[in-house]
């Protein structure tokens, strides 16, 4: 449900409380990569898959989306503990395949321990029914935090022995006294993803194997595999053989190589679709959702895009300053690296001034004026006029000012419409031009 639903008067919103770090988190993870994160979250939760489950309960119904910024904040000195998503009836999503940085396992299990130390009689959860009973809650929390610590510690142990990420995944398994608990089943997060995440948390992307320093591109590897198997027909033939023998992962890889070289190969596409669906039938809920959603996409029955209504809600929910913060990561450097422009955006209704500077192939957003006299200026009577421009460009509607600037927007000479258009077309506004 859109959070705006709960705000009766937008000019006088209720108190909305959040952790003091929330705004920093939004800026880091929502301002950038928000479009692809929507697509990946849709796959994770299986929104278009029949008879599915979101991993923590019934199928997720996205409905409308919106966001209202908090106006009250708490920090570690204000509250002692909050349950939030610290515990739920599934192995925790220490790394989420929809696209998040690895959550620090030590912070997570320490938070669970803090809750256990309070000896609560009731545990009110975000995704499940409340738990009642001090002894039951203690058992749940202690085993939950121990499972997280186990995966962290054993992953680090094998990492320090020089094992590569895939090898660590093979070695770290929950012991039976934890693995058999109903609230630690891997239907949401998984131990393998978590082990890989621990490796990434401490050592970054390089596995330690020199083969991963500058690996072949996917296309080049597909060509080599084609040569080994006797052409694309050989790839397809071996993929079919693998699928028939139940080797679904190998069938997926071989058919993917064939499609990389010939996207119109119907046989390869059909094999990939079947391999994905078979993998989805044989695995846990979150992973099943991904496989089956990918299967729909490969078959051509589903095209995931960032919906225009979500784009609208995003643009009109976030603060103006954040709309500018998305621009550097949209800068088309290969076309505009030569530009050395500075533009001041002024908003009369709020008094906000934001500077956009182009130099050395990057776009820089700042609140203070760069040291230069050559500054273009555009003045908006209100912020929504700029939001309308961003929305038009983001949904692919094109340049909205071909008929001239609307009332309430002025370019200060010598800034011209042509110059303004040239600068703004240096940014990759259209969010659905390419997905994945």
pLDDT, position 62:
58
What mean pLDDT is predicted for residues 57-61? 58
Lowest mean pLDDT across 110-119, 127-136, 204-213? 127-136
SS3 of 377, please?
A: strand
Helix axes 266-281, 285-299, angle to 10 degrees: 160
pLDDT, position 435:
40
CB contact at 8 A, 303 and 297: yes
Residue 79 has pLDDT above 60, yes or no: no
Residue 24 has pLDDT above 90, yes or no: no
pLDDT, position 1:
47
Cβ neighbours around 41 below 10 Å, total: 17
Tens-digit pLDDT profile for residues 128-177: 888 999 999 999 999 999 999 999 999 999 999 999 999 999 999 999 99
pTM above 0.85, yes or no: no
Lowest mean pLDDT across 34-43, 62-71, 239-248? 62-71
Residue 86 has pLDDT above 50, yes or no: yes
CB contact at 8 A, 221 and 253: no
How far is Cα 46 from Cα 54, in angstroms, rounded to an integer?
7
Residue 284 has pLDDT above 80, yes or no: no
What mean pLDDT is predicted for residues 368-388? 93
* Greatest mean pLDDT among 86-100, 303-317, 344-358: 344-358
How far is Cα 33 from Cα 328, in angstroms, rounded to an integer?
12
How far is Cα 311 from Cα 278, in angstroms, rounded to an integer?
34
How far is Cα 323 from Cα 315, in angstroms, rounded to an integer?
7
Mean per-residue pLDDT of the chain: 88
Tens-digit pLDDT profile for residues 380-417: 999 999 999 999 999 989 899 988 999 999 999 999 99
pLDDT, position 130:
87
How far is Cα 359 from Cα 223, in angstroms, rounded to an integer?
39
Domains and CATH numbers, the chain: 80-211 (no CATH), 216-299 (1.25.40.880), 308-424 (3.30.1050.10)
What mean pLDDT is predicted for residues 176-196? 94
Higher pLDDT residue, 212 or 29? Answer: 212
Tens-digit pLDDT profile for residues 231-258: 999 999 999 999 999 999 999 999 999 9
Lowest mean pLDDT across 6-20, 92-106, 154-168, 413-427? 6-20
What mean pLDDT is predicted for residues 268-291? 90
Residue 316 has pLDDT above 90, yes or no: no
What pLDDT band is residue 85 in, cutting at 50, 70 and 90? confident
What mean pLDDT is predicted for residues 410-435? 87
pLDDT, position 21:
76
pLDDT, position 80:
38
Helix axes 308-317, 383-394, angle to 10 degrees: 150
pLDDT, position 66:
63
Residue 424 has pLDDT above 60, yes or no: yes
pLDDT, position 16:
81
What pLDDT band is residue 188 in, cutting at 50, 70 and 90? confident
In terms of DSSP H, where are the helices of 180-284? 191-203, 218-229, 232-244, 248-261, 266-281
Higher pLDDT residue, 145 or 30? Answer: 145
């Amino acid at each position: 449900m859109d959070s705006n639903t709960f705000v009766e008067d937008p000019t006088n919103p209720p108190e909305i409380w959040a952790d003091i770090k929330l705004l920093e988190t939004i800026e880091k993870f929502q301002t950038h990569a928000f479009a692809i994160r929507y697509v990946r979250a849709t796959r994770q939760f299986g929104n278009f898959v029949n008879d599915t489950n979101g991993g923590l309960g019934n199928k997720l119904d996205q409905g409308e989306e919106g966001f209202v910024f908090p106006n009250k904040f708490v920090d570690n000195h204000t509250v002692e503990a909050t349950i939030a998503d610290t515990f739920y009836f599934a192995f925790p999503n220490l790394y989420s395949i929809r696209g998040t940085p690895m959550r620090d396992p030590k912070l997570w299990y320490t938070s669970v321990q803090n809750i256990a130390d309070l000896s609560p009689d009731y545990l009110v959860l975000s995704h499940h029914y409340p738990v009642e009973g001090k002894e039951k809650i203690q058992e749940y929390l202690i085993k939950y935090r121990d499972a997280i610590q186990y995966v962290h510690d054993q992953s680090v142990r094998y990492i320090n022995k020089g094992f590569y990420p895939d090898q660590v995944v093979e070695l770290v398994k929950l012991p039976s006294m934890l693995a058999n608990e109903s609230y630690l089943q891997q239907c949401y997060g998984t131990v393998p993803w978590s082990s890989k995440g621990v490796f990434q948390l401490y050592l970054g992307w390089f596995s330690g194997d020199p083969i991963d320093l500058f690996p072949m591109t996917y296309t080049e590897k597909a060509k080599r595999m084609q040569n080994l198997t006797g052409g694309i027909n050989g790839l397809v033939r071996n993929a079919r053989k693998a699928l028939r023998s139940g080797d679904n992962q190998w069938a997926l890889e071989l058919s993917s190589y064939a499609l990389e070289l010939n996207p119109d190969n119907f046989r390869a596409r059909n094999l990939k679709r079947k391999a994905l669906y078979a993998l989805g039938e044989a695995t846990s809920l979150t992973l099943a959702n991904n496989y089956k959603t990918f299967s729909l996409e490969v078959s051509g029955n589903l095209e995931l895009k960032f919906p225009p209504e979500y784009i609208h809600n995003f643009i009109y929910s976030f603060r103006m300053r954040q709309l500018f913060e998305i621009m550097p990561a949209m800068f088309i450097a290969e076309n505009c690296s030569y530009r050395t422009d500075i533009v001041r955006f002024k908003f009369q209704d709020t008094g906000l001034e934001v500077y956009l500077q182009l130099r050395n192939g990057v776009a820089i957003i700042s609140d203070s004026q760069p040291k230069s006299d050559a500054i273009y200026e555009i003045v908006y009577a209100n912020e929504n006029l700029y939001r309308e421009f961003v929305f038009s460009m983001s949904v692919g509607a094109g340049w909205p000012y071909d008929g001239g600037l609307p009332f309430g927007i002025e370019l200060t000479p010598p800034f011209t419409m042509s110059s303004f258009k040239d600068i703004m077309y240096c940014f990759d506004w259209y969010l659905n031009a390419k997905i994945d």
